[in-house]
Amino acid sequence: MRAAVLDAWVASPARFREDANAEEDFALGGYRDRLIVELAQNAADAALRAGVPGRLRLVLKDGVLTAANTGAPLDAPGVEGLATLRVSAKRDEKGAAGRFGVGFAAVVSVCDAPLIASRATGAVRWSREETTALVSGLPALAAALRERAGHVPMLRLPFAAPPVEIPEGFDTIVRLPLRDKTAEESVRRMLDETDAALPLGMPSLGVIEIEIDGAVRTVTADNWKVVSASGEFTPEQVAELFADRPTEERARPHWLVRWAVPVAGNGEPRPLPAGVPPVVHAPTPSDEPLDLPVLLIATLPMATDRRHAATGPLRAFLVERAAEAYLELLTELPRTPALLSLVPGLMGKAELDAEIRRAILRRLPDTPLLPALSAPAEPTEAAPAGPDAFELLNAPEKAVRREETDGWWRPFDGAVAGRRAASVAGSAELLDLVAPVVPGLLPADWPTRHPALTTLGVKRVELAEVIEMLSGDAVESRDPAWWRSLYDVLPADDPEAIGALPVPLADGRLVRGPRGTLVMKEGSALDPAVLAPLGLRVVHPGAAHPLLLRLGAAEATPRTVLDDPLTRAAVSESLESGDADPVAQAVLALVDAAGLTAGEAPWLGDLALRSTAGDLYPAAELLLAGGTLAGLVEEDTPFGVAAPDLVERYGPRVLAAAGVLDGFAVANDTDVLLDPDECDHGLDREEEWLEAVLDTLPDLSVPPVAPEFSAIRDLEYVADWPTALTLLTRPPLRAALHPLRLVAGGETVEVPSYTAWWLSTHPVLGGRTPTGLRVPGGDPLLFGLYGEAPAGLDPAALALIGVRTTLADLLAQRGGPEELLDLMGDPDLEVDRAQLRSLWMALAGVDPSRVEPPGSVRAVLHGEIVVADAETGDPGPVVVEAPDLLPHVADRPLILSPFDLAEALSELLDLPLAGEVVTGEVTSTGTRRDVPPAVRSLLPTAPATYMAHDPLLVDGAPATWRFYDGTVHCSDIDGLARGLAWACGQWGDRLAVAALLRDPDAVPLLLAEADLDSLNA
């Protein structure tokens, strides 16, 4: 063989270079770091050929690696395969790990003198040194050898070897003296990294023993779950799938796919051991990453570098077979949450990994992998539904009958596909209870938000959806105790999800949602039979649970039952019902048990009760015979009288609490919108009151709101007002008289309450309206204008209903100034002069915008008090603003008040000032004279001079004085005194100045009197 090879090289030096290059490429490229794998592969194939258990022992000692294995010995074809490249002697061996005929080239990377010996056939060796010597002696190869720096294709020239001792129990040994320390460290690393992936990829190799410097460890494929699939290609498949593959690959028309995953003692998958690289094995490790915690061993077509899978139809075929086998692996593992770790994600690490993932993911959602508490949503091909209600799961021998017991399905025993499974978060107890209505429901120990569930197509069913699914015959037939057990395990901290929870009622109905139901406590005094006519939704005692109260149910106390909307509806409809008595009995029993008082529940006034005549009346339109209100109202009223048997059975207190009128009924309300379309309590003239209130307020974009509203009803039927007012002005009814507080425009304002307004506008005080009267002993300024209110009621109560108290209060009220002016303009009423002056003084402080000028005014004419026409009087009244004009308007009705208020009154009354109707021009000629010095003792600011006239003419008419254009004009001493006092603003000192002018010697006395006045002030 050596001679033939050497001759071939001499004949074609290019062949020499080609062999050398190929050996170098495989040793340093595709098969670098593959030494242990290739030795194991050869051992596995030897065991396969011999049909014996494969065993490999690897020993690293003193710089030498030996590999002893069991199985068929090395024969001549085997030596030929080792000494050639890409010509495998195993091409016809089905299941052989070696396929390409180049693996032994891996020894070249660490050894220059490999040797193989078999017990039965002898030994063969190779030598880089000897091969180099032979090549060096051939002149035809000298140039090629120089170009390659002495590198020769060592494995092409085998040499005979002397017999070698083979360890007991082994058939063949490979001996590799390692080239140097670097090679030894490389081998040591490869031995350390050897793990279960090797025997898993080579099933015929059962055990690998590794000894390094005396330390021994054993590598096996125990505790791994393995699923394999294999087959042979038909000629048609070979022609189709191998069209782009080398010729010798076609001679191996069989394929293999194997998946392996580490498992725990219970069979659940575990992560790959730390030393097992996550790569595809083909069947030896490649550089193709696989992002799954499993091993894939497959006869994939490999590229020339033997590290990556070649693309093409053969690879696509094997990817599909790998996906099928992977699903088989998953189905044979325990159905526990650990299975989710084997569900691929959506992204792969490389192209091949992505192809495998896509192929798996296409099949995964339809593969029955998951355990379920109930049958899937629809039958599958693996689990058809037949008329006998059988469901075949995965295989006919796993068929499980689904039986019905008491209207409920027993647990479903089988697997479901992901797209027909459902996941619900909750306890195991909860899921067991709801499983029958959630098809394909996973057990509670399965995570509900694991991303793998989405990949599998599992539908996440929220708790609210589960609650919605609790319907139909199956759940409606469940007894109350079952519902209570469900309430026990529902999460009370998620009221939104379980708000529509079905609730069984005592009357046999099943309603959705606890809100509006009533839970009756054990030992309750309420009689369900008596309450039946109300149509209440009372929870069945066997299902009563605190959860229902947290979800909106109410505890069935007399008050909560009364407040129930169904009770209110029964009350409001009682007049139209065919038989109102049962509803009345139920409601009156509740009123009695609740201890209600009159007015506490005004809506009870709609309850239909029988009168003494046997007719039905709303309770609010019935009187208690002998009651307080019955003695106050007129005989001809729309009220009926409560039937005696009702009074006897329930008593006046219960009937009054139900709305039957003993005393005055009170309408109470909250957050009342004072809008004509909204505010309606059935009160007499309520719209008029509302209009009067709104008139007192400025224009608002939003109607005002009364947070608390209280009003006395039926005032229009009262005949005995003295007695009625005594009741109305005492607590508790008196509260309805107090002003109503409103929130208007963001501010709080007070307006007359409805009751106070109604009383103020009706003749309830001795036949007169309260606003036309004053309180006894009230403000003297109101005497003569207002009559005195009858005695017997306290002033504060009278004030609340409109009786006048003081002039100031009257003027502060809306419309009060106009009312006072109207009364002052009434000639039938008496007002004295001092009172009139005080009234004008008070009115001068009123804003004119609040008053419409009166048609008649109270004035003084020639010293008499008269009522003058303010609009058409001739001459009309004037407001006097200066005393020197009085003589010139003496024939007109005069509005007299302190001069500094004249302009305000003129504007308020829309009347002219005196100075506006007369000119007041001095038309005579006077003589300027000095003011006597003595006057300054009383008038320090008096002018220095004045004009003396004889006579003084003003507008051509005689006058005693005039202060005109800043000068005092006078015709006598009295006129001078008045003019000086007016000019100084000391009008009150005019008489003293006159006395001083007449008798200057009296000055000391006048000054002393002035001092006394000051002291007394």
Closest among 884, 864, 894 to 982, alpha carbons compared: 884
Confidence band of 745 (pLDDT split at 50, 70, 90): confident
- 489: three-class secondary structure by DSSP: helix
What CA–CA distance (Å, rounded) separates 56 from 34?
A: 16
- Is a pLDDT exceeding 50 seen at residue 399? no
Residue 627 identity (one-letter amino acid): G
Question: Per-residue pLDDT tens for 149-178?
Answer: 778 888 889 999 998 999 999 999 999 999
Sign for the pseudo-dihedral over CA of 946, 952, 954, 956: negative
Residue 604 identity (one-letter amino acid): L
Give the β-pairing of 952-954 and 957-959.
Answer: antiparallel
257 in Cβ contact with 283 (< 8 Å) = no
CA angle 676, 678, 682 (to 5 degrees): 85
Closest among 490, 465, 481 to 539, alpha carbons compared: 481
- 874: three-class secondary structure by DSSP: coil
- Polymer length in residues for the chain: 1017
- Is a pLDDT exceeding 80 seen at residue 62? yes
Summary count for the chain: helices (H), strands (E):
35, 45
The answer for residues whose C-beta is within 8 angstroms of residue 258's C-beta and 6 or more apart is 200, 201, 203, 226, 227, 228, 229, 283, 295, 296, 297, 298, 325
Confidence band of 598 (pLDDT split at 50, 70, 90): confident
Characterize 493-519 residue by residue with b for buried, 16 or more Cβ atoms within 10 angstroms of its Cβ, and e for exposed: eeeebbeebbbbbbeeebeebbbebbb
Give the β-pairing of 295-298 and 254-262.
Answer: antiparallel
Confidence band of 96 (pLDDT split at 50, 70, 90): low
What CA–CA distance (Å, rounded) separates 300 from 297?
A: 9
Residue 386's alpha-carbon distances to 390, 402, 414, 718, in angstroms, are 6, 11, 16, 83
By the 10 Å C-beta count (0-12 exposed, 13-18 middle, 19+ buried), 667 is classed as buried
Partners of 1010 in the β-ladder: none
- Is a pLDDT exceeding 80 seen at residue 63? yes
Confidence band of 846 (pLDDT split at 50, 70, 90): very high
- Asked if the bond preceding 875 is cis, omega within 30° of 0, the reply is yes
- Is a pLDDT exceeding 80 seen at residue 85? no
Residue 119's alpha-carbon distances to 66, 177, 211, 636, 693, in angstroms, are 15, 20, 22, 137, 124
- Is a pLDDT exceeding 90 seen at residue 343? yes
Between residues 504 and 143, which one has the greater pLDDT?
504
Output phi, psi for 381, to 5 deg. -60, -35
State the average pLDDT over residues 974-981.
95
Question: Per-residue pLDDT tens for 377-398?
Answer: 655 444 333 333 223 333 333 3
Output phi, psi for 10, to 5 deg. -65, -40
Partners of 810 in the β-ladder: none
pLDDT value of position 101: 43
pLDDT value of position 911: 95
- Is a pLDDT exceeding 50 seen at residue 406? no
Closest among 97, 94, 101 to 233, alpha carbons compared: 94
What CA–CA distance (Å, rounded) separates 618 from 616?
A: 7
The conformation of residue 669, written as its DSSP 8-state character, comes to E
Output phi, psi for 379, to 5 deg. -70, 150
Partners of 285 in the β-ladder: 281
State the average pLDDT over residues 110-114.
94
Average pLDDT of the residues of the chain: 88
**For the chain, how are helix, strand and coil distributed in percent, rounded to 5?**
40, 20, 40
State the average pLDDT over residues 482-501.
92
- 751: three-class secondary structure by DSSP: strand
State the average pLDDT over residues 650-665.
92
Claim: this prediction has a pTM higher than 0.75: no
pLDDT value of position 76: 84
- Asked if the bond preceding 283 is cis, omega within 30° of 0, the reply is yes
- 280: three-class secondary structure by DSSP: strand
Question: Per-residue pLDDT tens for 222-255?
Answer: 899 999 999 999 989 888 998 888 876 777 778 9
Closest among 876, 880, 874, 817 to 849, alpha carbons compared: 817
What CA–CA distance (Å, rounded) separates 354 from 348?
A: 4
What CA–CA distance (Å, rounded) separates 709 from 694?
A: 16
pLDDT value of position 378: 59
End-to-end CA distance of the chain: 156
Between residues 792 and 384, which one has the greater pLDDT?
792
Question: Per-residue pLDDT tens for 887-931?
Answer: 999 999 999 999 999 999 999 999 999 999 999 999 999 999 999
